[in-house]
Amino acid sequence: MNQKFSLAVPSAGITFSTGSLAALANGAVTVQIGETIVFVAATVAEKLKAGQTWFPLTVDYREKFSAAGRFPGGYFKREGRPSEKEILTSRLCDRPCRPLFPKGFLNEVQIVGLLLSTDVTNEPDIAMVNGASAALAMSDIPWNGPIACVRVGEIEGKFVVNPTIEQMYSSSLDLIYVGTETEMLMIEGSGDQVPEERFIAALEFAHQAIQPIIAAIKQLTKEHGKPKKEIKLHTCDPKVFAIIDRVARAKVTEGVKAKNKQDRNVAVGAAKEEAEAALTAELGEGNFDPFHVELAFEELQEDAYRGLILNSGYRAGGRGTNELRELKSEVGVLPRVHGSALFQRGETQALVITTLGATAEAQDLDGLTGGPKSKSFVLHYNFPPFSTGETGRFGSPGRREIGHGALAERSLLPVVPTEDVFPYTIRIVSEIMASNGSTSMASICGGCLSLMDAGVPIIAPVAGISVGLVSERDASGAVTKFVTLTDILGEEDHFGDMDFKIAGTTEGITGFQLDLKINGLPFNIVREAVARSREARLKILENMTAAISAPRKELSPHAPRIETVQIDPEKIGALIGPGGKNIRRIVEITGAQIDIDEDNSGKVYIYSNNMDAMRRAVAEVSAVGAKIEEGKIYRGVVRGIKEFGCFVEVLPGQEGLVHISELADFRVRRTEDVCKMGDEMVVKCVGIDEKGRVRLSRKAALAEIEAQEKAKAAPAAPAAEEAPSA
């Protein structure tokens, strides 16, 4: 796309352009990787809305179907609600941008990204993050960037920067890395049980890879950026803070030491009431802003939590800095589902359910920018308001729920068997029953337990844990003191500096996500956090495997069984039949579900809970292409009614005549007295003439079956007695 100014970063395959589009936005750029182009604009509100007491940053990424030369599906030919991929890309961009806005900056900021062109080779998510960084850096919006983003894969033992979609199919690592010039800022992704040392090496490689991108954004900003605006930062009124500090600091500090969350909330609430009474007495009623009270108590709680940890190593509830909360793992907690588990870590509790289905139940994906067209492993995460003891919105999942579910899903996916080993679609649903810290990691643990309870032959058990951080920095920004925290509480996440989630097996890492509230993370802290995570993960895995040590050998009796039938690939068309007629007939008469492997290998998957239905369906599928044989008994379907008898389809597309005289061993006056259209009928082939016309007999089939049953029921003949000896 031709714009006034462009700057390329050859090492990352990225080109930044600006100067021609969206001149009224505070900052706007296009980012191109190959022929994939993403436009990003950043805009700030001049004034705060009435009653606004928070920083409203919104990031919205949208994919336009025109980018791929396509029409949107459905009746309305325009894009609708954002897809899961668009939501995840928006979150990916939001998380590293948010902590770099100045503290006290509350003006609304909106970042909008539009996919304008896709080559179906390069993923646009990396372009979106780099575009947001460049748009903010070049704008007049106060922001402490720039940052840069790369994807790193590992292919045949070598790290690759921004691999293509096709290359990622053979990669053992999918790492999205965002950082500043000096430190790591955000990561997320998954790996195929990547050893911790190799994981850290990938992070270091990625940090070097982003440096040319940061240099390019800085150069573009220097040459074409705007001076930053002077915008008022909102901090607590010094008079209000002084009174609250004097009245409430000691009580808040003592209150956060309480054992459980409810007691801590009660203690802080009581301190707030006392502080508000003091403010009314000293300043007069209505002479202070309630918003400033909230700001003051936020700062007091932050000081209390952080000070206790940094100065005495004391955490809320009294745990040590590397101590896990009490663990509880149960499986088989629900009677009718295919697999279920209850995992609890302290006050965090997840009830997780696994459902198995046919491969046809796989989740279709839009595939606008390339990649797989469907996925047969899905994890859905639900976070109802009662899980935090609150009321609130309850309905369709929000962005947070989609993001947490995606993290848990990609952490478990590396150990889920492939479809050729276990040809089922698998759905996991994590219902969060109680929340106080890292419910996504609880979903991974509970999800793994429920998979094993369902009999899914996973490669290895997976567990996850979150590691937090509290740190101090000097005037130059260098970390002077820090404490890492294993298994953080919700308050430690809120008032701390880091939420570093890592999941994996005993062998290595399968999923990860880092969120920071500070401007970056030094690599010495990264190494300690990774080591802490592994230590805790192994303890959690011990607790989980005590509940169930390996996947169950048998599926739940309520789960569908599967048989795989191999037929000649050239007979697939005959199995399906014109317009799907034959395969619908088999499903109709057996009740089984039938899926055909899409790779044209001739594999046919048959699913059923009923073994009789399964055997019938297997026989029907196996008989595709076979010919009717004289003397054999078949179970067919009545396809035609005539005065002289009925026509019965006994093999796909093959039928014969049952004359009215062969319908029963008594005189039949009307064919309809014995059967009607669509009825199943047991028949025997009693002849095939020279023109290939098949004669069938229900009477002969019933007689033969009756004789066989009588033979089975007859008592065995007694053994001959020995003659007495002389």
Tell me the pLDDT band of 1, cut-offs 50, 70 and 90. Answer: low
pLDDT at 355: 97
Token output for 474: 């000097």
Tell whether the model's pLDDT for residue 726 goes beyond 60. no
pLDDT at 672: 93
User: What share of the chain has pLDDT > 90, as a percent?
Assistant: 71
Tell whether the model's pLDDT for residue 315 goes beyond 70. yes
10 Å CB burial of residue 27 (0-12, 13-18, 19+) is buried
- Which of the two residues, 524 and 77, has the higher pLDDT score? 524
Q: Enumerate residues 6+ apart whose C-beta is below 8 A from 705.
A: 633, 682
Structural contact between residues 152 and 209, judged by C-beta atoms closer than 8 angstroms: yes
**In whole angstroms, what is the distance from residue 572 CA to residue 591 CA?**
20
Q: Residue 528, SS3?
A: helix
Structural contact between residues 649 and 585, judged by C-beta atoms closer than 8 angstroms: yes
> To which H or E segment does residue 643 belong?
none
Q: What is the DSSP letter of 24?
A: T
pLDDT in tens, 68-109: 998 887 778 888 889 999 999 999 999 999 999 999 999 999
**In whole angstroms, what is the distance from residue 161 CA to residue 163 CA?**
6
pLDDT in tens, 454-463: 999 999 999 9
Tell whether the model's pLDDT for residue 600 goes beyond 90. no
The residue assigned the tokens 């909360």 is 325
What pTM was computed for the model?
0.87
pLDDT at 725: 44
Average pLDDT over residues 692-700: 94
pLDDT in tens, 224-265: 999 999 988 888 999 999 999 999 999 999 988 888 888 888
Tell me the pLDDT band of 719, cut-offs 50, 70 and 90. Answer: low
Q: Residue 593, SS3?
A: strand
- Which of the two residues, 291 and 74, has the higher pLDDT score? 291
pLDDT in tens, 462-496: 999 999 999 999 888 889 999 999 999 999 999 99
What is the set of domains in the chain, with CATH numbers? 5-224 (3.30.230.70), 238-312 (1.10.10.400), 327-547 (3.30.230.70), 561-622 (3.30.1370.10), 633-710 (2.40.50.140)
Query: Which range (175-179, 615-619, 651-655) has the least confidence?
Result: 651-655
Q: What is the dihedral of CA 590, 592, 595, 600, to 10 degrees?
A: -40
pLDDT at 716: 66
pLDDT at 446: 98
Strand partners, 681: 636
Crossing angle of helices 399-412 and 439-453, rounded to 10°? 50
pLDDT at 616: 85
Structural contact between residues 215 and 2, judged by C-beta atoms closer than 8 angstroms: no
Q: Enumerate residues 6+ apart whose C-beta is below 8 A from 579.
A: none
- DSSP for 317-328, written as a single string: TS--TTPPPPEE
Nearest of 100, 136, 99, 121 to residue 16 by alpha carbon: 136
Tell me the pLDDT band of 717, cut-offs 50, 70 and 90. Answer: low
pLDDT in tens, 123-156: 999 999 999 999 999 999 999 989 999 999 999 9
User: What share of the chain has pLDDT > 70, as a percent?
Assistant: 98
Tell whether the model's pLDDT for residue 501 goes beyond 60. yes
Q: Enumerate residues 6+ apart whose C-beta is below 8 A from 72.
A: 65, 78, 79, 80
Query: Which range (233-237, 553-557, 574-578, 598-602) has the least confidence?
Result: 598-602
Q: What is the mean pLDDT of the chain?
A: 92
Strand partners, 16: 7, 31
pLDDT at 578: 84
pLDDT in tens, 626-641: 888 999 999 888 999 9
Tell me the pLDDT band of 2, cut-offs 50, 70 and 90. Answer: low
Structural contact between residues 503 and 409, judged by C-beta atoms closer than 8 angstroms: no
pLDDT in tens, 359-406: 888 888 877 887 888 899 999 999 999 998 889 888 889 999 999 999
**In whole angstroms, what is the distance from residue 513 CA to residue 503 CA?**
9
Structural contact between residues 138 and 221, judged by C-beta atoms closer than 8 angstroms: yes
pLDDT at 718: 59
